[in-house]
Structure formats: structure tokens, C-alpha cells
Amino acid sequence: MCPDCGSLLDAERATPRCSACGGLWVLEDTLRHCVRTFVSLRGQEVPLLSFHEAPSGEPSGSCPDCGSPLEGVRLRNVAVKRCRPCGRVFMTPNAIELISQRVLASAQTQKGVPTVSRFLRLDEMLSDPSSFDLPE
């Protein structure tokens, strides 16, 4: 079940996606790897990607995999839901867009103008990491 809206997650995908709200249930390692690749393919230095505790009242719920309570955390100052035992993060489409904008803005101030197409999207990489040739 989707941690955000309670609908079914499409578990047939590499990264489960909610068919109702479009949120993604992403492995933390996949998230970090995709963000690194997303930024480095643009010829930019990769900014630090770390989770911070969210103030009380932020998102929570239970993990669709193990049932553990989800932590409300912030990634690039965007609220997301995290299951520490499973190592997964739930992100809404809006959260993914905001995170990608903030990561790119940070990378651009470090290195300059992007050198690769702006049409490569982080949400597409997260949805199906196997469809991209992602270097380790």
C-alpha cells in the first residue's frame, strides 16, 4: 500500500510506483546512485545528499514492506518518508521534482552550466534504473 494515499503500489516495476498518486518507493542506494548519475551526466560535481530529521508533524505512516513506522525526514529541505530498516524512501512526484531542482541548482553553482540535455529527468531514472546505463 502507498504510504501517502493508501492505494496499491505497482510492485512489477524496478522501483514500485503508486498508480494513484505517482509516488515512488525507492531504495536509498538507488536514490543516491541516480542523483549522482543525474548530476554527473551534466558534467557537474555531485552535491552531498543526506537526510535530516523533519520537525514534528511531518509525514509518517507505516512501511509497505515491513510495517515499521516511517520517519518524516527532509532531503534537500523537501519532506519525504523513510523506512530505516528497509532502506527505502517514499517520494511524491512533487518531492522528486523539487529535489532534482535543488540538487541541480546546487551543482550548477559549484561547476557552471549543464553540458548534457536538460530533458533527462530524475523521476524517469528512479522509476526504472535498469533502463539507463548508470556507471557505479
Q: Find all residues with CB under 8 Å of 121, minimum gap 6, and list them.
A: 100
The percent of residues in the chain predicted with pLDDT above 90, rounded, is: 12
Answer whether residue 97 shows pLDDT above 60: yes
pTM: 0.74
Q: Are 82 and 66 in contact (CB under 8 A)?
A: no
Question: For residue 90, what are the CA distances in angstroms to 102, 118, 119, 133?
Answer: 18, 24, 23, 24
pLDDT recorded at residue 113: 47
Which range has the worst mean pLDDT, 5-9, 19-23, 57-61?
57-61
The percent of residues in the chain predicted with pLDDT above 70, rounded, is: 65
Rg over alpha carbons for the chain, rounded to the nearest Å, is 15
Question: What is the C-alpha separation between 43 and 49, in angstroms, rounded?
Answer: 17
**Residue in the block written with cell 533527462:** 120
